[in-house]
Each structure stands twice: as C-alpha cells, then as structure tokens.
Structure 1
C-alpha cells in the first residue's frame, strides 16, 4: 500500500540559544501528530553572525537530541565530561535520560546547514543513564540509488545497517536525488514516517512540496519521491509512536506535571544530575 501525505508543516523563523537564527518546524503544537518526534529545528545560513552565539550550557531530561550537521561544524561539551566535534555529514546523538547539562558551539563555516530533532524517550526510560555518541563517516552506510544516493544515519534500510538506537527503533536517512529523478522508498508498513525537505523542492507521490517543509505520511509500505529540474535532499525519519502522556517545559519533557515540576525543583536545588559527572 502506498503512503500518502497526511500533514504538511512549514517552518517559521525564530531565535533560540544565546541568539541563534533558525527555522523551527516541529514543536509543542505537533506532539501528537508527529509522535515520537517532538521538535525539529533547521539551520541554514552563510552568515556566521546568525549562529555565532551558539547554545551555552543548558539542561535536558527525558529526551534524546539528534543533530545532523550536513555542512559546517559543531562542538559538544557535557556534564559527563564528553567533548567532541561533528562536521560535514556527521551526527551527534545525545540521550539526556535522567539529566544532563550540555553546550553546543557552532563554528564559522561557508555554510551552516543541518537539523536538530528531539526524540521522546519512553516513560520507562525517562530516568535512564544519560550518554553521548557521535556517528562519524565510517559508521554511515552510503547506498547508491537508481538516480541518487541514500546515507543511513541510523537504523536500517533493506538489510543495510547504521547506528542502532538504544531505546526506540529509529530509521534516519539522508536521501539525495539527481535532477528530474524518480525514486521509490520502501518503508516498514506500521511505522510512523515523516520527511523533511532540507534542500530543494520535490514531489511526494506527485504532489509538489516546498523546501524546508515537514511531511507526515500515512501508513503503508512505500512512497515515491521525484525531484524537479534541480537536485533535492530529503531527510527521512521513522519510528513507532509512544502514545503516552507528554508534559513539556522548555528543555525537559516528562509524562506528568508532577515529574516536570520535580525536574525544575531539582535544577534549583542542585540535585538534577543523577550520574557521576565531570562538570
């Protein structure tokens, strides 16, 4: 059965961190429709002033943050003692679990292009130990398509494997299409699927969708992508919905208001971090 477009979300310009200009695509208003993906921000700038303020040290609990820097570079530091830089096609995967503090420093680049998404953690894993993982070039499988290529950032595609999520199953692909190309993409039929047009417009099952748009697809086993007379870069994200209650307060996402209030109380009294830290 062919998947169909159920929802289109166009991003809006906003400022976050210490003054970073970005495009916010998903947020609190899209929780139910895009479950388990909570947030998606896109960075696309050739002006260092748009992002040089970066994201100073801040807390998270109850989520995983997954950053894909297609062009540019970003350095991560956290309360576990990790310091690491990703750049040009690499991925940063951070599981906040029970609590972590981290910062993300964006460096000067000809172009800063990429996305960060927040993946919700299941209720049973909200207070798991935090960890950090970077996915570098040697861990990203690149497949040749009939008229383009696919980079498996995480999960698997038709027997080809990338990094495996510890909690939710999560397939994350970076799909590149040549101009005037058509490509069928196979999917796990009962999984939630969303697409994000990072660069270029594209046809999804013959419907033209503009760049920087998120698309929720119906259930099914495949869908068809088609580029215009220009190249297109489409991000594919797929998982299983949690269908759990969600209470979101800034950088923290829990299941109840009581849990959310407790997290902020612990931030105030210095008991937020639950694991040994080097902060």
Structure 2
C-alpha cells in the first residue's frame, strides 16, 4: 500500500540563539502529528549576517539534536571541553540525555544550507548518558537511485547500513534528485515517516510540495518522490512513534511536568550536569 500525504507544515521565518535567522517548520504545534520528531529548523542563507551570531551556551535534556549540513560549517562546543566542526554533507548528532550545556558556532561561508531537528527520547531513556557523535562525509554512503543519489545519513536502506541511532530506530535519507526523477522508497508499514523539502519543489506521494515544507505520511509500504523541471533535495526520516506525554519548556523536553520543573530547578542550583559527556569521533 502506497503512503499518502496526511498533513503539510510550511515553515515561518524567525530568529533564535543570538539572532540566527531561520525557518521554523516543526514545533510545539506539531508534536503529536510528527512524533517522535519534536522540532525542525531550516537554515538557508548566502548572507553571513543571518547566522554568524550563532547559538551561545545553552542547556538541553531529554532529547537528541541532529544537525545535517548540505552546505556550510558548524562548530560544536560543550560543557566538558569537547570541540568539533562539521562541513558540507556532514552531521552533528548530540544526545542530550540527562543534561548537557553546548553552543553552536556558524562561521561565514558561501552558503549555509541545512536543518536541525530534535528527536524525542523515550521516557525511560531521558536521563541516559550524554554523548556527541559526528558523522563524517566518508561515513555516509552515497547510493545511486533512479534519477539521483540517496545519502544514507543514518539507519539502513536495502541492506546497506549507516550510523546507528543510539536510542530509537531512525532512518535518515538525504535524497539529491535530478530533474524528472522518480524514486519509490520502501518502509515498514507501521513506521512514522516524514519528509522535508530542503531545496526545490517536488511531488511527494503524488502531491505537489513546495520548498521548505514538512510532510507527514500515512501508514503504508512505499513512498514515491518525483521532481519536475528542476532538481531537488529531499530529506526523509523514519522512526517509531513514542505515544508518550511531552512536557516541553524551552531547550528541555521531559515526559512529566515534575521532571521538567526539576530540570529547571537543577539549572538554578548548578546541579544540572550529571556526568561526563562521551565524544564518539
């Protein structure tokens, strides 16, 4: 059975961090529909003034942040002294777990193009050990498909495997499609699947989808993606719904209100960080 479009979310322009201009697509209004993906921000600018202010030191707990850069650079620094920079075609995967303080610097470049999404952690794993995983370009397999390339950012595709998500099953494909391409992707019927048009318009499940739009798909075995007269880059993510309560306050997401209030109380008392953060090079 082919998946169809269940809902579409068009992003809106806003600022975050120290004044980074971005398009916020998913947020607290879309939590249930896109479970387990909580937030999706898109970056696309050729003006360094839009983003070089970066994201100063701030806390996270209860989630994973996944940043994919099609173009540009991003430097991660955290509260225990880890520092790492990714560039074109690479990924920063940070497990906030029980608590992390980090900052993201965005150096000037020819074009900043990418997304950051927040992946919810299951209730019984929200206080797991924090970790940082860079995914280098050489670790991402480029798989030839009809009319383009599927970059296997994480998970598996037709027997090929990429980075393994540490807490939830998560397939992350970056499709780079030529004009007049048509690809059909296979999925387990009950997986929660979404797509995001990072660059260019296309047709997803037969419906025209504009650039910078998130699409939630119904259950099914297959998903079709087609381009018209122009190329497109489409991100496709697949996971399992958690169907758990979400209590979200700024950079912290817990499964109970008590847990959320405790996190902010610990920030005030200076007891937020629980242990050493692991760096997986």
Per-residue deviation, residues 229-252 of structure 1 (Å, max 9, x unmatched)? 000110001100000011000000
**Cα deviation, residue 277, structure 1:** 6.5
Q: What is the correspondence of 1:191-230 to structure 2 with a 5 Å cutoff?
A: 191-230=191-230
- Corresponding position of 1:270: 270
Q: What is the correspondence of 1:256-267 to structure 2 with a 5 Å cutoff?
A: 256-267=256-267
Task: Give the Cα separation in 1 of the matches to 2:146 and 2:31.
Answer: 35
- Corresponding position of 1:240: 240
- Corresponding position of 1:142: 142
**Counterpart of 1:28 in 2: which secondary structure?**
coil
Q: TM-score, length-normalised on structure 1? A: 0.98
Per-residue deviation, residues 50-76 of structure 1 (Å, max 9, x unmatched)? 001100000000000000011000000
**Counterpart of 1:150 in 2: which secondary structure?**
strand
Per-residue deviation, residues 31-58 of structure 1 (Å, max 9, x unmatched)? 0000000000000000000001100000
Task: Give the Cα separation in 1 of the matches to 2:205 and 2:38.
Answer: 25
Q: What is the correspondence of 1:120-199 to structure 2 with a 5 Å cutoff?
A: 120-199=120-199
CA contact (8 A) 2:132 2:277 kept: no
**Cα deviation, residue 146, structure 1:** 1.6
What are the ranges of 5 or more consecutive residues in structure 2 without an aligned counterpart? none
CA contact (8 A) 2:129 2:277 kept: no
The 1:277/1:241 distance shift into structure 2, 3 A limit, reads closer
Task: Give the Cα separation in 2 of the matches to 1:20 and 1:143.
Answer: 33
CA contact (8 A) 2:130 2:276 kept: no
**Cα deviation, residue 206, structure 1:** 2.3
- Corresponding position of 1:231: 231
**Counterpart of 2:29 in 1: which secondary structure?**
helix
What are the ranges of 5 or more consecutive residues in structure 1 without an aligned counterpart? none
Per-residue deviation, residues 174-216 of structure 1 (Å, max 9, x unmatched)? 0011101111111121100000000100011321110000000
Q: What is the correspondence of 1:94-105 to structure 2 with a 5 Å cutoff?
A: 94-105=94-105
- Corresponding position of 1:67: 67
CA RMSD of aligned residues (A): 1.0
2:254 maps to 1:254: yes
Out of 240-249 and 199-208, give the one that drifted further: 199-208
Task: Give the Cα separation in 2 of the matches to 1:276 and 1:8.
Answer: 40
**Counterpart of 1:29 in 2: which secondary structure?**
coil
**Counterpart of 2:264 in 1: which secondary structure?**
helix
- Corresponding position of 2:114: 114
**Cα deviation, residue 158, structure 1:** 1.0
CA contact (8 A) 2:186 2:223 kept: yes
CA contact (8 A) 2:52 2:108 kept: yes
Task: Give the Cα separation in 2 of the matches to 1:215 and 1:80.
Answer: 37
**Counterpart of 2:265 in 1: which secondary structure?**
helix
Aligned length in residues: 278
**Counterpart of 1:266 in 2: which secondary structure?**
helix
Q: What is the correspondence of 1:30-45 to structure 2 with a 5 Å cutoff?
A: 30-45=30-45
CA contact (8 A) 2:131 2:277 kept: no
**Cα deviation, residue 81, structure 1:** 2.4
Per-residue deviation, residues 111-130 of structure 1 (Å, max 9, x unmatched)? 00000000000001000110
**Counterpart of 1:49 in 2: which secondary structure?**
helix
